[in-house]
Amino acid sequence: MKLTLHKKTKKFILIILVFLLLFAGIQTYNTITKEETATKETVIFEYSCHPSVDYTVYILPNELYPGTELEEGRYYSKRLLDYIQADFAVEYQGSDSIPVKIQYQVLATVNGYQGQAEKKNIYWSKSFPLSEEKVVEIEGDNWNTTEQINFTLDEYDALAVRAKELTGMNVTNEVIVELLGTVTTNVTKEEVTIPFSTNLEIPLLEDVFQVKKSAGEPIKGSVTETEEVILPVNRVKVSLLAVLILLCIAAIPILMFVIKEPDELAMLRKKNSGLIKNYGSRMVAMKEIPDMEFSRYYQVYSIKDMIKIADEVQKPIIYVPDENTAVRNNELLIINENSLYRWFSA
């Protein structure tokens, strides 16, 4: 089967193929030669610090309780209270053995406040050390310690009473017994400080009280190192561009030398055959048209105008079939008495 394309169509497709070839070539060159970088984060150190606290309430011997030791989570009588034992613990774990500095201390803080939970408005506060500040320096990947503190509530109740007398504020009072500290490590050139805390909250000036302890969630984190890395060549993109280049290189000579332009005769036959196909119901084919003299000759502008005239004068459009061009001389005629209407398709 002979492939043909009109000259303008071939030219248009050729321009597109050349453009695609240039585009694919430039993109391939840029993809191969251009260095693309990306930011890569590498975790070089991971750590966790887990503070916790437990407590035991000791009461005075009495006839209501079988012993003097009460477990966590109960209601306690201030009148029967002897002392409270707080057992603090801290556990540190690192991913590498490095120098570590730990500082910690137990403090008791008495607050006068209004509100609840996170909406507390603290009007006054006073802190007391319950232990000396301790500093521990080690080189390793783990460390843990415990700290036991025994305390009573009498002196804190007394402070709350004095504060009310001094300030005249009718506020709620509490004491927070808290282990506060930091773990400091040096990773490469970066110093990492991990603060930790855990506490007991106890209401003051109450006949019956409960002890609230912090959840003691582990503190976890990591230290990352950022670097710029060169990305490898995108092989998938290069492969697709290479396929496009090969297709364009193969298509251009085929378009230029294999696919031919239709000759003028074939184009005329195609055009005339189309006219007969579209307007055949208005046309009459004749073997010959006799020579006739007409007083008026009209050159019609288009086939549509021929159709209008044929409708107006109620005459058919006539033509003589031709083996080569489908319509002899590419001429369509309308004969109306002494008038001849003529249109040439080419």
Q: Per-residue DSSP letters for 210-279? A: --EE---PPEEEEEEEEEEEEPPP-HHHHHHHHHHHHHHHHHHHIIIIISBPPPHHHHHHHHHHHHHHHH
Residues 6+ apart with CB under 8 A from 16: none
pLDDT at 135: 95
Q: Are residues 27 and 120 in the same domain?
A: no
Q: Are residues 299 and 311 in the same domain?
A: yes
Q: Are residues 28 and 46 in the same domain?
A: no
pLDDT at 1: 54
pLDDT at 84: 97
CA distance between the termini of the chain: 27
Q: Are residues 59 and 109 in the same domain?
A: yes
- Is 143 inside a domain boundary? yes
Q: Are residues 339 and 298 in the same domain?
A: yes
d(CA 295, CA 128): 131
- Is 85 inside a domain boundary? yes
- Is 53 inside a domain boundary? yes
- Is 1 inside a domain boundary? no
- Last residue of one domain, picked from the residues 211, 229, 247: 229
- Is 2 inside a domain boundary? no
Regions in the chain scoring below 70 on pLDDT:
1-2
Nearest to 111 by CA among 173, 201, 203, 22: 173
d(CA 76, CA 63): 15
pLDDT at 298: 92
Q: Are residues 208 and 235 in the same domain?
A: no
Q: Are residues 145 and 156 in the same domain?
A: yes
Q: Are residues 163 and 203 in the same domain?
A: yes
Q: Are residues 330 and 275 in the same domain?
A: yes
> What residues make up the domain containing 288?
264-344
Q: Are residues 14 and 84 in the same domain?
A: no
- Is 61 inside a domain boundary? yes
Q: Are residues 100 and 129 in the same domain?
A: yes
d(CA 299, CA 284): 19
Q: Domain count of the chain?
A: 3
Helix (H) or strand (E) holding 116: none
Q: Are residues 271 and 247 in the same domain?
A: no
Residue 158 · residue 165 · CB < 8 Å: no
Question: What is the β-pairing status of strands 121-129 and 69-70?
Answer: unpaired
- Is 207 inside a domain boundary? yes
pLDDT at 122: 93
- Is 304 inside a domain boundary? yes
pLDDT at 175: 97
